[in-house]
Structure 1
Amino acid sequence: MGTVINLTIFMAPTRGCKLDLQCCDSYEYCVSCCLNPSRTKETDVLKLKVARPVTSGTYRNVFDFCMGRCRHSSASVVHENAYASDFHHCFLLQQNSSGSADSGSGPRLDGINISIGRRGESCSSVCRAKGQSCVPSRLSVLNKCEILQKYMRCKSGCFSNLGPDQPAQVVDEAPSNLNPGACLYMQMDERLTCDGSHQHTRRLCPCA
């Protein structure tokens, strides 16, 4: 039997949600906020694939997108067994897999303190040192070459890679085979995590 959504809460869509983060503390509130045309554009949603493989279909409508997007993802979990925040139902549009930024990046970073970590430091640690928390749903917004190049030098270029410490920049002192000075983003947004770190990189972190 499918999930039943009480759409009467659409009359008060901001309840239980942090609209600056596009995340809510319940699945119903998330779907309700997501369905608001001012927050989710049908033209954007209908272009998105339901899953990563190129053979995947696209969403049929905004309701299908909101129903799927508001479910938990690995980005809302820390240590694989606990939620990073009570607001772990998020309807943020996922980026494409090219590492390029879209025109909506600015508004999605409102209220976010973008911080650069020290070598080998996780985003959880970076934000904690500032008296804040890492916002996992915003890692995908920073996970783009244009954003990395805005905050880091990326003197050796920007490349797709696979690692729990991304988005990040390889430190200049790293071994030559690790491409010192390069910025790294990950194509699989669902694997981004606040807790990842690497001894030879500095992370770009969303704190709030």
Structure 2
Amino acid sequence: MEVCASSSSRRIYLLILFIFNFSPTITAIRKDVSFQTLHPCKTTVQGRYLLSDENGYVCNAVSVNSRSRCCPPKGEKFSCHECNLLSQCCNSYEYCVSCCLNPALTSKEQVLKMKVAKPATARTYTSVFDYCAGRCRHSSESVVHENAYISDFHHCFSLPSNSSWKNSTLIEARLNGINVVVGRQGESCNSVCKSRGQLCVPNKLAVLNNCDIIQKYMSCKGSCLSSVGSDQPAEVVYDAPMHLNPGSCLYTETVSMLSCDGLHQHTRRLCPCA
């Protein structure tokens, strides 16, 4: 009996040694199973039924993802539905923002250098979405006489008209509904428009304050020169004193000086009437 017990103990001992010496080493790494941090989408909040997200999608409020706050990635991205791509104006705020977000239409490099407001201390835009969401709201350029829209396409995202990269075709598209009239010598735009039974539209003077536009309506034989005065944009009459550069067209870099009341005895004004 002792021999059997000893033999059995020896077998158990050898089995234990085998297990510890020859079994493969098993290791495990505990992975962190915490939830991934979500960065909610920026969206417009102006519309009653629709909204546009920072990815360029438009959807109704019901279909927004409850966690990401993004629109479902379906349908057309950067949709320009009901937009005039020439004037870069739309009749819907949400589609204006979506269209504006298209990199082919809005330069991120240009936008991020722009100031949100006119004062020199104003901050610049932090993203293209912030620019589009702000720019597409009703601006002074989309109204006439401060109480009516020039057209149904009054949500516009184009850069301001004094941006040097803009071409004359795009600028002129922003004059839809405006009669551009060349006044008589020494006449203000208020007088010019009144004689046609219309009113001068002050916020369109800045759009006309561009050499390409001025040269389309005036001869500008003496070139287009930067000047200072409330009578601009204008053309110097040919019989003006030589030091005034007869025949030259004038624009101003100080847009705040532009006025419908401005006049000069030796210039003919270019006026926006409606």
What's the TM-score, normalizing by structure 1?
0.66
Once residues 52 and 174 of structure 1 are traced to their aligned partners in structure 2, the CA distance between those partners, rounded to angstroms, is 35
1:63-102, aligned counterparts within 5 Å?
63-64=130-131, 67=134, 84-87=145-148, 93-96=159-162, 101-102=167-168
Report the counterpart of residue 110 of structure 2 in structure 1. 47
How far is the alpha carbon of 1:164 from its aligned partner? 0.4
Among residues 176, 192, 204, which one is paired with 2:258 in the alignment?
A: 192
How far is the alpha carbon of 1:128 from its aligned partner? 1.1
Report the counterpart of residue 197 of structure 2 in structure 1. 131
Q: Unpaired runs of 5+ in structure 1?
A: 12-18, 23-31, 76-82
Once residues 191 and 207 of structure 1 are traced to their aligned partners in structure 2, the CA distance between those partners, rounded to angstroms, is 18
Tell whether 2:208 aligns with 1:145. no
How far is the alpha carbon of 1:72 from its aligned partner? 8.4
Q: Unpaired runs of 5+ in structure 2?
A: 1-43, 51-82
Q: Give the letter for the 1:36 counterpart.
A: C
Distance change in 2, residues 1:165/1:189 (3 Å): same
Question: In the TM superposition, what whole-angstrom CA distance separates every residue of 1:35-83 from its partner, at most 9, and x where no partner exists?
Answer: 823785661576142167999864233545664897988x9xxxxxxx9
Once residues 109 and 178 of structure 2 are traced to their aligned partners in structure 1, the CA distance between those partners, rounded to angstroms, is 28
Tell whether 2:96 aligns with 1:36. yes
How far is the alpha carbon of 1:207 from its aligned partner? 1.0
Higher Rg: 2
Distance change in 2, residues 1:196/1:93 (3 Å): farther
Once residues 93 and 142 of structure 1 are traced to their aligned partners in structure 2, the CA distance between those partners, rounded to angstroms, is 15
Once residues 207 and 147 of structure 1 are traced to their aligned partners in structure 2, the CA distance between those partners, rounded to angstroms, is 15
Once residues 39 and 130 of structure 1 are traced to their aligned partners in structure 2, the CA distance between those partners, rounded to angstroms, is 37
Tell whether 2:217 aligns with 1:154. no
Q: What number of residue pairs does the alignment pair up?
A: 182
The share of aligned pairs that are identical, in percent, is 44
Distance change in 2, residues 1:66/1:174 (3 Å): farther
Distance change in 2, residues 1:149/1:36 (3 Å): same
How far is the alpha carbon of 1:197 from its aligned partner? 1.1
SS in 1 for 2:96: coil
Once residues 264 and 240 of structure 2 are traced to their aligned partners in structure 1, the CA distance between those partners, rounded to angstroms, is 11
Report if aligned partners of 1:168, 1:202 keep a CA contact under 8 Å in 2. yes
Once residues 35 and 183 of structure 1 are traced to their aligned partners in structure 2, the CA distance between those partners, rounded to angstroms, is 39
SS in 1 for 2:235: strand
Q: Give the letter for the 2:222 counterpart.
A: S
Once residues 45 and 138 of structure 1 are traced to their aligned partners in structure 2, the CA distance between those partners, rounded to angstroms, is 26
Superposed CA RMSD in Å reads 4.1
Report if aligned partners of 2:201, 2:272 keep a CA contact under 8 Å in 1. yes
1:98-117, aligned counterparts within 5 Å?
101-117=167-183
Q: Comparing both chains, which one has the higher relative contact order based on Cα–Cα distances under 8 Å and sequence gaps of 6 or more? A: 1
Report the counterpart of residue 122 of structure 1 in structure 2. 188
Report if aligned partners of 2:168, 2:213 keep a CA contact under 8 Å in 1. no
